[in-house]
Structure 1
Amino acid sequence: MTPPLGRDRLRRTIAAPSGTPTVAPQRRAVVVGGGIAGLAAATGLAERGVAVELVERQPYLGGRVGGWTVSLPDGHRTGMSRGFHAFFRQYYNLRALLARAEPDLSVLRPVPDYPLVDAHGRVDSFRGLPRTPPWNALAFALRSPTFGASGLLRVAAREALPLVDVRLPDVYTTLDDLDARTFLDRVRFPDAARHLAFDVFSRSFFAPSERLSAAELAVMFHLYFLGSAEGLVFDVPHRPFHTLWQPLATHLATHGVRVRTGVAVEGIERTGEGFRVHAGDTATAADAVVLAADVPGLRELVASSPGLGPPWWRDQVAGLATAPPFCVLRAWLDRPVDPARPAFLATGGRPPLDNVSVLDRYDTDAATWASHTGGSVVELHAYSVTDGNDARVRRDTRSRLWRRLREVYPETRAARAVSEEVLWRADCPLFPPGSFTSRPGISTPVPGLVLAGDGIRVDLPVALMERAATTGRLAANHLLAGWGAAGHDVVTVPTRGRNAALRALAARFGARPDGVAGEHAPV
Structure 2
Amino acid sequence: WAACKALVANGCRVTLLDSLPDPSGGRPFLTPTGKPFEVGQRGFWRDYPNIERLVQDLGLPDRAVWSDFTPSQFWSPNGLEATAPVFGSAEFPQLPSPLGQVVAISRNSVMQLPVADRASLAGLLYAYLDITRDEATFERYDRMTAHDLFIRMGLTKRLVDDFIRPTLLVGLFKPPEEVSAAVAIELLYFFCLAHQTSFDVRWLSGGTVAQTLINPLAKQVTAAGDVTVRGHTRVEEVALSADGGRVAGVKYRQAGQQESVLLEVDACVLALGVKGMKGVVGASASLARHCPELARTSALNGIDVMACRIWLDRYVATEAPSNVIGRFPGLRGAGGTFFMLDQLHTDQAALWGGGDPQGSVLACDFYNASALNTLSNEDIVDLLMKELLPGAVPAFSQAQVVDSFVQRFPGGVTWFSPGSYRNRPPLATSIPNLVCAGDLVRMGEREHGSKGLCQERAYVSGLEAANLLARNGALGRHQAQHPVLPVREDEPQVTLARDLNRFIMEGLKPLGLDSPWVR
Instruction: Give the direction of change, closer, same or farther, for the CA distance of 1:274–1:505 in structure 2 (3 Å limit).
Output: closer
How far apart, CA to CA, are the structure 1 residues paired with 2:247 and 2:86? 54
How many Å apart are 1:396 and its aligned residue? 5.4
Q: Secondary structure at the match of 2:148?
A: helix
1:315-464, aligned counterparts within 5 Å?
315-323=295-303, 325-338=304-317, 340-351=318-329, 352=331, 354-364=336-346, 366=348, 368-369=350-351, 372-389=356-373, 391-392=374-375, 397-402=380-385, 403-425=387-409, 426-458=411-443, 459-462=447-450, 463-464=452-453
How many Å apart are 1:41 and its aligned residue? 0.8
How far apart, CA to CA, are the structure 2 residues paired with 1:394 and 1:497? 47
Match of 1:22 in 2: none
How far apart, CA to CA, are the structure 1 residues paired with 2:171 and 2:485? 22
Instruction: Give the direction of change, closer, same or farther, for the CA distance of 1:94–1:224 in structure 2 (3 Å limit).
Output: same
Match of 2:283 in 1: 304
Match of 1:134 in 2: 98
How far apart, CA to CA, are the structure 1 residues paired with 2:101 and 2:130? 14
How many Å apart are 1:406 and its aligned residue? 2.4
Query: Which is worse superposed, 157-166 or 482-491?
Result: 157-166
Paired AA for residue 414 in structure 2: P
Paired AA for residue 427 in structure 1: G
Match of 1:51 in 2: 13
Q: Secondary structure at the match of 2:239?
A: strand
How many Å apart are 1:472 and its aligned residue? 0.8
Matched, 1:291 2:285: no
How many Å apart are 1:158 and its aligned residue? 5.6
How many Å apart are 1:422 and its aligned residue? 0.8
Paired AA for residue 234 in structure 2: A
How far apart, CA to CA, are the structure 2 residues paired with 1:233 and 1:59? 34
CA contact under 8 A between 2:76 and 2:392: conserved in structure 1? no
Instruction: Give the direction of change, closer, same or farther, for the CA distance of 1:166–1:408 in structure 2 (3 Å limit).
Output: same
Instruction: Give the direction of change, closer, same or farther, for the CA distance of 1:44–1:311 in structure 2 (3 Å limit).
Output: closer
How many Å apart are 1:504 and its aligned residue? 5.4
How many Å apart are 1:104 and its aligned residue? 4.5
Cα RMSD after superposing both structures: 3.1
Normalized per residue, the structure richer in helix is 2
For these two proteins, the number of residue pairs brought into alignment is 469
How far apart, CA to CA, are the structure 2 residues paired with 1:83 and 1:184? 29
How many Å apart are 1:135 and its aligned residue? 2.4
How many Å apart are 1:460 and its aligned residue? 3.3
Which of 41, 45, 50 does residue 93 from structure 1 map onto?
50
Query: For residues 13-38 of structure 1, what are the alpha-carbon distances to aligned partners after superposition, in whole Å with 9 as ceiling and x for unaligned?
Result: xxxxxxxxxxxxxxxxxxxxxxxxxx
Paired AA for residue 317 in structure 1: T
Query: For residues 66-113 of structure 1, what are the alpha-carbon distances to aligned partners after superposition, in whole Å with 9 as ceiling and x for unaligned?
Result: 9612242xxxx3210112111112022333334432355441222321
How many Å apart are 1:202 and its aligned residue? 5.0
Paired AA for residue 221 in structure 1: L
How many Å apart are 1:298 and its aligned residue? 1.2
Structure 2, unpaired ranges of 5+ = 255-259
Q: Secondary structure at the match of 1:428?
A: strand
Matched, 1:113 2:75: no
TM-score, normalised via structure 1 length: 0.80
How far apart, CA to CA, are the structure 2 residues paired with 1:193 and 1:307? 49
CA contact under 8 A between 1:147 and 1:190: conserved in structure 2? no
How far apart, CA to CA, are the structure 2 residues paired with 1:489 and 1:230? 25
Query: For residues 95-152 of structure 1, what are the alpha-carbon distances to aligned partners after superposition, in whole Å with 9 as ceiling and x for unaligned?
Result: 3334432355441222321122333223422325355522233335656523342224
How many Å apart are 1:187 and its aligned residue? 2.9
Instruction: Give the direction of change, closer, same or farther, for the CA distance of 1:101–1:277 in structure 2 (3 Å limit).
Output: same
Match of 1:219 in 2: 186
Q: Secondary structure at the match of 1:189?
A: coil
Match of 2:480 in 1: 486
Matched, 1:269 2:239: yes
CA contact under 8 A between 2:305 and 2:370: conserved in structure 1? no
How many Å apart are 1:392 and its aligned residue? 4.4
Paired AA for residue 224 in structure 2: H
CA contact under 8 A between 2:390 and 2:397: conserved in structure 1? yes
Query: For residues 230-272 of structure 1, what are the alpha-carbon distances to aligned partners after superposition, in whole Å with 9 as ceiling and x for unaligned?
Result: 5421121123224122111111111222222222222221246
Match of 1:13 in 2: none
Instruction: Give the direction of change, closer, same or farther, for the CA distance of 1:333–1:48 in structure 2 (3 Å limit).
Output: same
How far apart, CA to CA, are the structure 2 residues paired with 1:169 and 1:322? 27
Q: Secondary structure at the match of 1:422?
A: strand
How many Å apart are 1:332 and its aligned residue? 0.9
How far apart, CA to CA, are the structure 2 residues paired with 1:394 and 1:89? 35
CA contact under 8 A between 2:311 and 2:403: conserved in structure 1? yes
Paired AA for residue 467 in structure 2: N
Query: For residues 290-335 of structure 1, what are the alpha-carbon distances to aligned partners after superposition, in whole Å with 9 as ceiling and x for unaligned?
Result: 1102210111011112222426234312122212x12222111111
Match of 1:189 in 2: 155
Instruction: Give the direction of change, closer, same or farther, for the CA distance of 1:435–1:331 in structure 2 (3 Å limit).
Output: same
Q: Secondary structure at the match of 2:203?
A: strand
Match of 1:125 in 2: 83
How far apart, CA to CA, are the structure 1 residues paired with 2:134 and 2:402? 50
How many Å apart are 1:446 and its aligned residue? 1.7
How far apart, CA to CA, are the structure 2 residues paired with 1:291 and 1:368? 35
Match of 2:257 in 1: none
CA contact under 8 A between 1:167 and 1:495: conserved in structure 2? no
Which of 483, 507, 514 does residue 518 from structure 1 map onto?
514
Paired AA for residue 482 in structure 1: N
Paired AA for residue 433 in structure 1: P
How many Å apart are 1:421 and its aligned residue? 0.6
Match of 2:31 in 1: 70
CA contact under 8 A between 2:29 and 2:37: conserved in structure 1? yes
How far apart, CA to CA, are the structure 2 residues paired with 1:392 and 1:70? 20
Q: Secondary structure at the match of 1:455?
A: coil
How far apart, CA to CA, are the structure 1 residues paired with 2:291 and 2:315? 57
Q: Secondary structure at the match of 1:490?
A: coil
CA contact under 8 A between 1:460 and 1:495: conserved in structure 2? no
Paired AA for residue 293 in structure 2: W
CA contact under 8 A between 1:160 and 1:187: conserved in structure 2? no
Question: Percent identity at matched positions?
Answer: 22
CA contact under 8 A between 2:325 and 2:337: conserved in structure 1? yes
Match of 1:29 in 2: none
